[in-house]
Structure 1
Amino acid sequence: MNIREEAERRVDAKIKFQENLYKYLIVNTIIAIICFAFLQSFWLLFFVMFFWGLGVLDDFFNAYSIWDYREEMISKELSKMGD
């Protein structure tokens, strides 16, 4: 895999995370309003927030933390092997 393909893959992962986060915030806001206005109960909101939030968290780690940390570890190992 060349550098451009790797960069495109990272950018796609970051865009996916951002889109999913925006959708998460909008939909949960709408559900909160509906729960408050009509149901007087927030069990539906908490259910959606928890399970969808796990997916958003997974997208975050795929887009930012894991990729950068993995690359940092690879570069450290390569430098150790070169010494």
Structure 2
Amino acid sequence: MENYKQENTSYWSAKKKVKEIKGFYVHLLVYLFVNIAIVTVSSYHNGDWSSLSNIWTYSTAFFWGIGLFAHWLSVFGPNKFFGNWEERKVRELMEKEKNRNWE
């Protein structure tokens, strides 16, 4: 029974990770499409492809890029602030619950 619980927990943990990865890739695709559209429309509106110096054209990509980088860090990057804190805490609480049930 304990093995089943562990397999079930591993399954849901893996499923959650896959959902996070998928969410990042969707975010990345939207970022690319929207920013390509912004640059294209801005260039077309200005009538000159060499006049891409409009700061508003690139500010969206820049600030959204910061958010995209933070999303990447949360999904793939090494979590230096908390390490594997969440997983360790879950295991600790599960162990406490297991010990309490034995008493």
- The TM-score, its normalising length taken from structure 2, stands at 0.58
Counterpart of 1:15? Answer: 22
Higher relative contact order (CA 8 A, sep 6+): 1
Aligned alpha-carbon RMSD (Å): 2.2
Which structure is larger by alpha-carbon Rg, 1 or 2?
Answer: 2
The percentage of counterpart residues that share the same residue type is 21
TM-score scaled by structure 1?
A: 0.70
Which deviates further from its counterpart, 17-26 or 2-11? 2-11
- Structure 2: how far apart are the matches of 1:66 and 1:6? 17
- After TM superposition, which residue ranges in structure 1, 4 or more long, deviate above 6 angstroms? none
* Partner Cα distance (1:21, 1:42) in 2: 23
Deviation at 1:11, TM superposition (A): 0.8
Q: Say which structure is richer in helix.
A: 1
